[in-house]
Amino acid sequence: MDKQPYIVGVGAANADLNGASLAPIHLRDSNPGHISLSAGGVTRNVCENLARLGADVKLLSCVGDDTFGAFIRRSCEDAGIDAAHLYAARGASSSMYLSILDADGDMLVGMSDMRIVQQDMPEDYLPSKKALIQGADVVTCDPCMGEKTLLQLLDLCKPPQIVCVDPVSCAYARVVAPLIGRFHTAKPNRMELEILAGMEIRSDADLQRAGEVVLNKGLKRLFVSLGAEGCLYMDDTGKVLRRKLRPAKMVNASGAGDSFAAAMLYATLQGYDAEKTLDYGMAAGIAAVTHERTINPNMSVPLLESILQTYRL
């Protein structure tokens, strides 16, 4: 009997604390607002969206043996993620992300504490999961764990596995940049692509040239998120696509990139062509920004199809 294809996510799993102010913010003072707690972390969010789309997905990460660790684990299980392989670090605090939104819903300040995945994850944790990692058709990761763990993961993965990286931020893109040729797929934004390619992007011609630079390093596929301008797709066969959907009324911008990545990987697992893969990613972005939660609990293939019918230009 053929084994069922599955996806492994390796990276951040956080408790996200979000404060949204009800009025213009007064700094160095107490401000009335709504405060909410949710499970987050780039790779965990991608995994949750994948699980909601119906993929078999397993998460490798590190949580503390604290209340937040139990909350992260329970949130993963409730969403359909296989969280059995999470490592619980004794006496450590789970990683947290704190964000303060102004009265318009834009982030005023964010703060992340990712020490647990960088300091408390044992060196033999990923090697002990070698069979699980090597059995996956797709591996998705982020660089929040640090360069050493990222290198360890890349050494464990073997072609024809599709290993995808989300650079997360400009700071973390610098960790990814020297290793970019060892990944199959990357999903940077324009600023992160500048760091991966080592060049400024001032025009569409620059954008494409930067894409060529990273593909020439060995990357196979590149999805560059361009916000309201849609997405640029390039691959090692020379294919270049630029697509966007009709703009949607934004409720919460924070989960768009993670949902894009999940739908793109789901489509990849199904063997869809570049056009359909790109469309699924962009539809998932709309599903995210039009819902108040970071992850749309209604995420599903029928939802993506209905969004494409409504928003396709």
User: How does pLDDT run across 224-268, given as a tens digit for each residue?
Assistant: 999 888 999 999 999 999 999 998 887 777 788 999 999 999 999
Q: Are strands 7-10 and 14-21 parallel, antiparallel or unpaired?
A: unpaired
The pLDDT tens digits of the residues spanning 146-190 come to 899 999 999 999 989 999 999 999 999 999 999 999 999 999 999
Report the 10 Å Cβ neighbour count for 56.
17
Average pLDDT (6-28) is: 94
* CB under 8 A, 24+ apart: contacts of 125-131: 125/60, 125/62, 125/87, 126/10, 126/60, 126/152, 126/153, 126/156, 127/152, 127/156, 129/60, 129/85, 130/156
Distance (Å, rounded) from C-alpha 154 to C-alpha 142? 12
Q: What is the bridge-based pairing of β-strands 14-21 and 33-40?
A: antiparallel
The CA-CA-CA angle for residues 267, 271, 274, to 5°, reads 65
Give per-residue pLDDT as tens, 202-236: 999 999 999 999 999 999 999 999 988 899 999 99
State yes or no: pLDDT of 96 exceeds 90.
Answer: yes
Rounded-to-integer distance, Cα 250 and Cα 253, Å: 7
